[in-house]
Structure 1
């Protein structure tokens, strides 16, 4: 029987988080179990854990379950958990609260933690201050490695932030960083200054989380220091928090590209009506946009009545334009997110996508032309005596619509970025809807030129 099944039956004997026990369950695994079972069972199981284990597991829980558990705890128990959390985990919890709840739980913190949280809450939600661990381990460069190790043991606790030690001046200005391994593998009589490499990338306290993700990738670091404008060491950001940021950022981006508002909680934790609300707003906007398609077709009603055969290719035409636009939008949004292109590259992107659209349009147009030719000559369908002109119309229409689709899909994200709007808002459905409407205008305009004097 699995641990999850035992917990559901009220047996918590295997839920042990001490490595000396036979049945060791990692805190992250315990958190996943709690998140997958009814809340009442999860709360009972969580309460059976020793105090320190409750703190450890709490940091692995999703924000929604964290809030549910802490609300069901007495102020005294809540005070213990919140004060014992690592600073970055504590900050993430408070960032997920609304203002009234923040005030209530702030009053449960000791003075030092309360002051720290209040300071960090003053920074923007997307700044690295919101994920910073203030337990940065610092030493002087003039002491020996032996003295440094003794200083760390006496003044700091075992913490993820201590994987890298920071060398500072007397006023706490950052000089350099030292991986713990250098303290282990060097002669203890050496001075700290002898093992410095003089290179220490850092994050500004006002820097965005997205920028921090890029720096971690660029410098291949597990920990980066956070400094203010005067280069004073304020704390550190660790790789585990950066991975969480990257995952959240990518999730929100994908949701926006898919044509819905970003979810506040994971899909399975989002209530039905909240999910409905998040999806409905964009669907309504897109539906109103698609209504213009009917308006456009109504405008060309005369052409359609004269040449009903043109209506056969409407789905083909508008889907090709929408698909090419969605492709271009996805490529450009992702390239911008990775920093591969910026606003200054719009000219390069435009010409690249025009050439791509022209090439893709010729390919699709040729396929459409060949298809009509084969169907006509094999007598699978009779397009009439002017079938060749219809085939030519489809050929040039696809070129024009695919070019317009790729151009729109590539330029809209850049335009939104220029207006300081998240480029991901230019979702694939949004671009497809825009190209659907304009694609019909392009299609029937080309048809009226090529088929004038014949079937039109």
Structure 2
């Protein structure tokens, strides 16, 4: 069912006081579609609609809501209702929600949870954001190596309702050290009397609890895993990161990179829910900073005032040249930022990539110089044409190399390379382009 249709159906049913019809609509639709429609309502209305569902269905649907919507709705729920919801949610999802609550709400909620759930929430919520620990779940299945397959299958059958996934199980020793892994398929096909340790794979791809979530997502994608085990500093198994959670983290990282590439700080809510004040606050710093960066271009123009006064035709080509340099720089930066993010390029590849970019940028600059030479001849004569042509080659090469090198430099000093894209590269290349262009003009025209 489409979001708009579902939204209208729910609104009509509740307005008419027809709870039975509203409940039937919620039960027929997919939780992801319901969550998308619920986000269109106020938090108070959403609490009312969600109360029509059974508690298990409520918990499943809650996991599909955006983080911002979850936090807003949770604040409108009573302590008892919220505690009951927490008891039904996946371990990693309730830990994430717990971190989004205010400190006062956290202290109010914890006494309403069972001791095991309370300790689990505290432990998972204690890990730094955007790390494997913050992303992992504690709902995973474990086996012992000395168990026969028959006993292992019986244990999985009993635990399946409470685990996020049993398709991949992890073999641990008495100290919870990870010693192997085994898929459910391998267990089902094995002889019931064989031991788990005879079937398990001992070379297990894993991650550390403090690993960045972007690295975790890369590992899961690279090794094509359903889940990735997470170990603590003592190499004990403490959780797993599932494929769907890794995919959510990858989308979050890509969104953050896209925002930074436009010189916008990470938004705390979806674009359709973020406040005007937050948008202002997240954008103003870079815009003000880049204003002062643009003064470099103005200073360059002022420095070559005499050249411009004698050859006014030069002004006609300035936006064309500076814009071309900025475009070339943005292209290079975008390609390099993405290559660094996906691991296609590393710091050791810098010399190779730089050499190739010099050749490509030179070819691009020559092609564009040929295109503008005739225009320069037409507007200002052969001397102006040569100025524009030489400047075009140099500006495009400079822009491309700046766009290429800036992400490398930021990565080297432990800053996010995505910051190098868009406005930052354009501002730097604009100032450089002005100096190059009028520098050529002064030299070639003999001023």
Category of TM-score, reference length = shorter chain: over 0.9
CA distance in 1, matches of 2:212, 2:110: 25
Structure 1 position 155, deviation (Å): 4.6
1:222 aligned partner = 226
Deviations 1:352-404 (A, max 9, x none): 2222221111111111113334xx3xxxxx52xxx111111111101111111
- Say whether 1:405 aligns with 2:409: no
More helix by share: 2
Q: Which moved more, 1:206-215 or 1:77-86?
A: 77-86
Residue 36 of structure 1: SS of its match in structure 2? coil
2:280 paired with 1:276 = yes
CA distance in 2, matches of 1:29, 1:15: 14
Alignment partner for residue 409 of structure 2, among 412, 415, 418?
A: 415
Superposition TM-score, scaled by structure 2 size = 0.93
- Deviation, 1:339, is 0.9
Greater shift in the superposed pair: 433-442 or 158-167: 158-167
State the alpha-carbon separation in 2 of the partners of residues 324 and 316 from structure 1: 12
Structure 1 position 213 matched with structure 2 position 207: no
State the partner residue of 1:3. 6
- TM-score for both structures, normalised by structure 1: 0.91
Q: Distance in 2 between matches of 1:186 and 1:15?
A: 48
Other-structure match for 1:69: 73
Deviation at 1:132, TM superposition (A): 1.0
What is the aligned counterpart of 2:320 among 316, 320, 327? 316
Mean CA deviation greater in 337-346 or 302-311: 337-346
**How many Å apart are 1:308 and its aligned residue?**
0.2
Contact residue 177 and residue 196 of structure 1 kept, 8 A: yes
- Cα distance in 2, alignment partners of residues 224 and 170 from structure 1: 21
Name the structure 2 match of 1:339: 343
Relative to structure 1, the CA distance from residue 117 to residue 425 in structure 2 (aligned partners, 3 Å threshold; closer, same or farther) is same
Q: Are 2:120 and 1:116 equivalent residues in the alignment?
A: yes
Give the deviation of 1:334 after TM superposition: 0.6
Give the whole-Å Cα distance in 2 for the aligned partners of 1:98 and 1:8: 30
Q: CA offsets, 1:58-93, max 9 Å, x none?
A: 111112221222211111111111232111111221
Give the one of 234, 239, 245 matched to 1:241.
245
Deviations 1:5-39 (A, max 9, x none): 1211214445558xxx9952222221111012344
CA contact (8 A) 1:35 1:65 kept: yes
Larger displacement relative to structure 2 (404-413 or 288-297): 288-297
Pick from 43, 53, 70: which aligns with 2:47?
Answer: 43
Q: 1:252 aligns with which of 253, 256, 259?
A: 256
Aligned residues of 1:91 and 1:131 also touching (Cα < 8 A): no
Aligned pairs, number:
440
Q: 1:216 Cα deviation (Å)?
A: 0.3
- The match for 1:379 is none
1:192-247 CA distance string (max 9 Å, x none): 23332333211111211011011101110011111123332111110110011000
**Map of 1:146-295 to 2, 5 A cutoff?**
146-155=150-159, 157-295=161-299
Deviations 1:73-122 (A, max 9, x none): 11111111123211111122123345444444344433223223333333
* 1:300 to 1:107, Cα distance in 2 relative to 1, 3 A: farther
Task: Provide the rounded CA distance (Å) in 1 between the counterparts of 2:425 and 2:103.
Answer: 37
- The answer on whether the counterparts of 1:3 and 1:15 sit within 8 Å (CA) in structure 2 is no
Determine helix, strand or coil for the equivalent of 1:421: coil
- Flag structure 1 segments of 5+ consecutive residues without an equivalent: 377-381
- The 1-side partners of 2:81 and 2:442 are apart by 76
For 1:242 and 1:103, the matched residues in 2 are separated by 29
Query: Are the equivalent residues in 1 in contact too, given 2:95–2:122 (CA < 8 A)?
Result: no
Moved more, 157-166 or 355-364: 157-166
**Which one is further off, 71-80 or 247-256?**
71-80
SS in 1 for 2:50: helix
3-state DSSP of counterpart to 2:386:
helix
Match of 2:440 in 1: 446
Structure 2 gap segments, 5+ residues each:
none
Cα 1:310/1:242, change in 2 over 3 Å: same
Distance 1:2 1:312, change over 3 A: closer
Cα distance between partner residues in 1 of 2:219 and 2:26: 41
In 1, the alpha carbon distance for the partners of 2:353 and 2:111 equals 53
8 A Cα contact 1:144 1:189, kept in partner:
yes
For the structure 1 residues 181 and 342, does the alpha-carbon distance in structure 2 shift closer, same or farther, using more than 3 Å as the test?
A: same
The 2-side partners of 1:358 and 1:267 are apart by 40
Q: Secondary structure in 2 aligned to 1:167?
A: strand
User: Cα RMSD over matched residues?
Assistant: 2.1
| C-alpha contact 2:148 2:192 (8 A) present in aligned 1 | yes
- Matches of 2:192 and 2:45 in 1, distance apart? 52
